[in-house]
A and B are shown apart, each in its own frame.
Chain A
Amino acid sequence: DAGVTQSPTHLIKTRGQHVTLRCSPISGHKSVSWYQQVLGQGPQFIFQYYEKEERGRGNFPDRFSARQFPNYSSELNVNALLLGDSALYLCASSPRGGTEAFFGQGTRLTVV
């Protein structure tokens, strides 16, 4: 079975631009979460979606937004990019009734 897939794997953007990151969860998983991992640190929770509704939001500015589609895939959008947004963005999916989160390989975003 395919795991969590994210696209693109790498991305370079200029300050002030907008970026969209995509995630496809494991088949049958209805919950998707997004995390930001800055070099040398553990992942930080950004958003969680379940059944297309936002169920949780971390301490991130309103420039960050996300949505989940009917097929349970998800997009993370970041507006007005800052240098400090450079990080590995991870998507994780979880099964209904389970608490384990399974991560994709991440999207490496570099803002210049």
Chain B
Amino acid sequence: GQQLNQSPQSMFIQEGEDVSMNCTSSSIFNTWLWYKQDPGEGPVLLIALYKAGELTSNGRLTAQFGITRKDSFLNISASIPSDVGIYFCAGQLDAGGTSYGKLTFGQGTILTVHP
């Protein structure tokens, strides 16, 4: 089945630094999503990408949908302590229709920000 390889597995950074993480797949996806999850909570949607090559920002977050449709990148600029958490990429294969919400997730990147 489809698998997503997310890297790095963990990051320890100083407040104010920029962060980059990426996700690669053995298969093509039509949609890429990035989520953040705090302990004991459900994932919260950060950014959604729908077109190959698309670059989308949400505040200090920027994500890109790879040209090959097999990868995606998330960057966080000027990190702050509340950025701490686990970041997940997720890919969706089906292009609309009725297969909403059927996502394949990466293993997650654990981000720690030191003040």
Contacts and interface: CB of A to CB of B under 8 A. Distances in A.
A-B interaction: yes
Interface of A: 4, 31-33, 35, 41-45, 48, 50-51, 55-56, 59, 90, 92-106, 108
Interface string B17-49: 000000000000001010100001111110010
Given A45-B102, A92-B103, A101-B90, 6 more contacts: A42-B108, A45-B103, A59-B1, A92-B101, A100-B33, A101-B33
Given A42-B106, A101-B45, A108 B101 contact: no
Nearest to A30: B100
Interface string B70-96: 000000000000000000101010001
A90 B103 CA distance: 12
B41 A99 contact: no
A51 B97 CA distance: 12
Nearest to A104: B42
Contacts of B88: 42-43
